[in-house]
Amino acid sequence: MKALKWYAPYNVKIEEAEEPEIVEETDAIIRTTLAGICGTDLHVYRGHVQIVPGNILGHEFVGIVEKIGRNVKNFEVGDRVVVSCWIADGTCWYCKNGFYTQCNKINIFGLGPLYGEEYPGAHAELVRVPNADLLLFKIPSEVEDEKVFALSDGLPASYAGIVEGNFKPGYSVAVLGFGPIGAMAAMCAKSLGAGKIFAVDIDEERLKLARELGFTSINSKEVDAAEEIRNYTEGRGADLVVEAIGASEEVIKKAIELVRRKGTVSVVGMHVHDYNMPVGQLWVTEKRLVFVIGDTIKYRNELIELIKNNRIDISKIISHRIKLEEAPHGYEIFDKKKSFKVVIKP
Percent of the chain whose pLDDT exceeds 70: 100
pLDDT tens, position by position, 186-234: 999 999 999 999 999 999 999 999 999 999 999 999 999 999 999 999 9
Q: Which runs of consecutive H residues, i.e. helices, occur in 82-224? A: 93-96, 132-135, 154-163, 180-191, 204-212
Q: What is the pLDDT of residues 307-316, one digit of tens each?
A: 999 999 999 9
Q: For residues 161 and 181, give the distance between their C-alpha atoms in angstroms, rounded to a whole number.
A: 10
**Regarding the domain with residue range 2-152+313-345, which homologous superfamily does it belong to in the CATH classification?**
Medium-chain alcohol dehydrogenases, catalytic domain (3.90.180.10)
**Confidence tier at 49 by pLDDT (50, 70, 90):** confident
Give CA–CA dist 106/87, Å, rounded: 6
Neighbouring CB atoms inside 10 A of 332's CB total 15
Mean pLDDT within 160-167: 97
Lowest mean pLDDT among 29-38, 231-240, 265-274: 265-274
Average pLDDT, the chain: 97
Average pLDDT over residues 255-284: 95
Residue-wise pLDDT for 52-106, tens only, equals 999 999 999 999 999 999 999 999 999 999 999 999 999 999 999 999 999 999 9
Confidence category of residue 116, pLDDT binned at 50, 70, 90: confident
pLDDT(299) > 90: yes
Residue 162 pLDDT more than 90?
Answer: yes
pLDDT (0 to 100) of residue 345: 95
Q: Mean of the pLDDT values across residues 231-241?
A: 98
As a whole number, mean pLDDT of residues 156-172 equals 98
What burial class does residue 65 get, using C-beta atoms within 10 Å of its C-beta: 0-12 exposed, 13-18 middle, 19+ buried?
Answer: buried
Cβ neighbours, 10 Å, residue 286? 9
In the prediction, which pLDDT does 50 show?
82
| 115: pLDDT strictly greater than 90 | no
Rounded to an integer, the average pLDDT of 43-60 is 93
Q: Which residues contact 269 (CB under 8 A, 6 or more apart)?
A: 177, 181, 243, 244, 245, 246, 247, 251
The Cα–Cα gap between 272 and 281 comes to 23
* Residue 247 pLDDT level (bands cut at 50, 70, 90): confident
Q: Is the model's pLDDT at 48 over the cut of 90? A: no
Structural domain spans, the chain: 2-152+313-345, 156-291
156-291: CATH number: 3.40.50.720
Q: Is the pLDDT of residue 291 over 90?
A: yes
